[in-house]
A and B are shown apart, each in its own frame.
Chain A
């Protein structure tokens, strides 16, 4: 595997962003809006309740982590979509670029953009709403890693789906985080959910993050075993997603879809 070739994908993304406010602003705008909205909501809820519950720590912290996960996933898919929109697949896939190198480039781009979004959210959440983010302690390390790996896994799986189904399938990708959020128990404890949704949550790694952080904030302890399980699950999904993308790519090469990708008549 050549890092140089993966770096070429990152460089391409850097060139695109450097000259385009339309690409840079969304990296910060949506997460900024979310933090401001939920920041005021948390303050309002704090004012309503007198039992010493701090919604800034529980709710705003959860929103921040969920937005980080969303940015990670979209970091992968947005880099991939640049190749869809510019009809660049033939140039890329008829080159020495390996699939692992291409995916490596997508992941590296996502690391940069999601970290930029995370820092921006932290500045607003800490500066304006006094979120003591680092007060969560060392649990942040596995929490961020689980969200990162699962975000990457979903991003790769989503790109594999678009590779297989064609450019129009892009519209299946955008709602994925919103569809998962109820099961991930971002805003409420898992016990709030009906039984069947609680079972579904067990296979969604972020649910282990949010359950543990919520438990910690309410004075409980962190279950490292459940976090380890969540991390293992996220890594398993990452492997499955990479295998899925590779399979979709091989299908495209076998059937000629890659060569004719820009056409809409893929199915």
Chain B
């Protein structure tokens, strides 16, 4: 609740290991609010959040140690180099053999040449890759990605999607992914949740859901959710 307004209401879902779940919805639907609650920076008025079996409210530090995130609005400090940022967050997340792990993520996201470059002078796409590298540092059990490819060129976005798929399929953890790119969502996500006005309106396989709802594509379904959520709620009943 923000004052008297319910930003999200009765939102309940689970993300299992090996699974990439897409959190979709129009602007203001409650996606970022949901992610902020999962990150422990916004306290829900009611309900429970459990990450890797650890209750977020009761054992915040342990629960958040099992997660990590990347978001376009949370770039790493621009006045530190890529390596320095990763070193600092490696310590905060308790990463073992942090120097080795930093080298691994730098290689994974093609950042070796930017190792000693200050993040502030990188392009937005490069900064996003640094955020993703930080998000992968602790091999999280739950990876939260808020529009991770929004500022990436198609080629880099393709590579990032491949990395995330590989992360999920390796059994390291589950991924909650928000995006407005329906092509990307269909390619990457195993399951999607459509949020509208703070409620989960639809849930299912992004490749089958449009057909089940009588729409030609996921994009068309998205537009319907954004413009006529009530009709979908009624058909759901």
Contact = CB atoms under 8 A, between A and B. Distances in A.
A94 B41 contact: yes
Interface string A120-155: 000000000000000000000000000000000000
Given A253-B40, A256-B42, A15 B88 contact: yes
A87 B91 CA distance: 19
A4 B91 contact: yes
Interface stretch (A30-38, A62-70, A95-103, A223-231): A95-103
Interface stretch (B13-21, B61-69, B99-107, B201-209): B61-69
Question: Chain B at the A interface: mostly helix, strand, loop or mixed?
Answer: mixed
Interface residues of A, number: 30
A98 B63 CA distance: 12
A176 B91 CA distance: 33
A221 interface: no
B65 A88 contact: no
Given A90-B74, A96-B62, A98-B61, A253 B39 contact: no
Contact of B92 (A20, A90, A96): A96
A15 B88 CA distance: 10
Contact of A8 (B42, B65, B92): B92
A99 to B, nearest CB: 10
Interface stretch (B77-85, B161-169, B180-188, B224-232): B77-85
A12 B88 CA distance: 6
Contacts of B64: 94-96
30 contacts: A5-B91, A7-B91, A8-B88, A11-B87, A11-B88, A11-B91, A12-B80, A12-B88, A15-B81, A16-B80, A82-B77, A86-B78, A86-B79, A87-B74, A87-B77, A88-B77, A90-B41, A90-B74, A92-B92, A95-B89, A95-B93, A96-B64, A96-B65, A96-B92, A98-B60, A255-B2, A256-B41, A258-B41, A259-B36, A259-B39
Interface in A75-93: 82, 86-88, 90-93
A94 B40 contact: yes
A92 B85 CA distance: 12
B76 interface: yes
Interface of B: 2, 32-33, 36, 39-43, 60-62, 64-65, 68-69, 71, 73-81, 84, 87-89, 91-94, 134
Most buried by A among B41, B68, B75, B76: B41
Interface of A: 2, 4-5, 7-8, 11-12, 15-16, 20, 82, 86-88, 90-98, 250, 253-256, 258-259
Contacts of B39: 90, 94, 259
B41 A2 contact: no
B79 A16 contact: yes
B40 A256 contact: no
Nearest to B144: A94
Nearest to B38: A94
A93 B40 CA distance: 8
B128 to A, nearest CB: 14
B78 A254 contact: no
Nearest to A105: B92
